[in-house]
Amino acid sequence: MIGLGLTACNSGGMRRNPGKIYTPDMTYSRAYDAYTTNPVFADSMSSRLPVQGTVAIGHELPDHLVEGDTNAYNRFTTSMKFNADELQEGARLYNIYCGICHGTNLDGQGPLFASGKFASMPANLKDGKYLHMNVGTMYAAIKFGKNMMGSYASQVDVKQRWQIIAYIKQVQSENGGAPFTMGAEAVETGSAPVAAAQPEAAPAEETHTSH
């Protein structure tokens, strides 16, 4: 038994030393910790910014628009779909942040314009000029502002912006606009729009009874 053990330990004359490595830095690359000095880059920083315009994997709500990039606005869209309750919330948010100027009926007759404080009427979102406006352009207007309208980026987050746009698009679809495509299965194209003037009139449970 001892002999068998010694035999098993015998390497048979085989060399187990791997020898010299020609390019050890490639075989055993040096790792740089975050926030440390790195001679590889011109700014000597190990922590790098993501490539401009990229969106992290798994992020379902990309928001990488750059102000003034009209071509990007025209292509920008979302795959988000909203159910009746979420559209109701979109109506409520519209009333709070948009209705004061654009009117609770989306006709540009908001209280500020009706009071005579504005020299020109805010956009009538039921007008033909806006009925078919793409959602990316609308999103950019909310995020960056447009003309006399300031940015609402700090007031509403990414999902809330899309909820407002979805609500507007649903109302527009009932007033000559394109078919509504941002509704969840329970809120299909052609369904009656949520009433903007009374966003909290019906309890959440009742909003599903008609769908």
What are 147's two structure tokens? 């003309």
- What are 197-211's pLDDT values in tens digits? 444 444 444 444 443
Q: Which domains, and CATH codes, for the chain?
A: 73-208 (1.10.760.10)
What are 34's two structure tokens? 């975050």
- What are 119-134's pLDDT values in tens digits? 788 999 999 989 999 9
- What are 152-197's pLDDT values in tens digits? 999 999 999 999 999 999 999 999 999 999 998 644 444 444 544 4
What are 174's two structure tokens? 């009932």
Q: How many CA atoms lie within 13 A of 90 on its CB side?
A: 24
- What are 48-104's pLDDT values in tens digits? 888 876 666 655 555 777 788 888 888 888 889 999 999 999 999 999 999 999 999
The pLDDT value given to residue 93: 97
pLDDT bucket at 30, cuts 50 / 70 / 90:
confident
For residue 8, pLDDT beyond 60:
no
Distance in angstroms (rounded) separating the CA atoms of residues 45 and 39:
8
Q: What is the model's pTM? A: 0.61
Task: State the average pLDDT over residues 19-45.
Answer: 83
Residue 60 contacts residue 137 (beta carbons within 8 Å): no
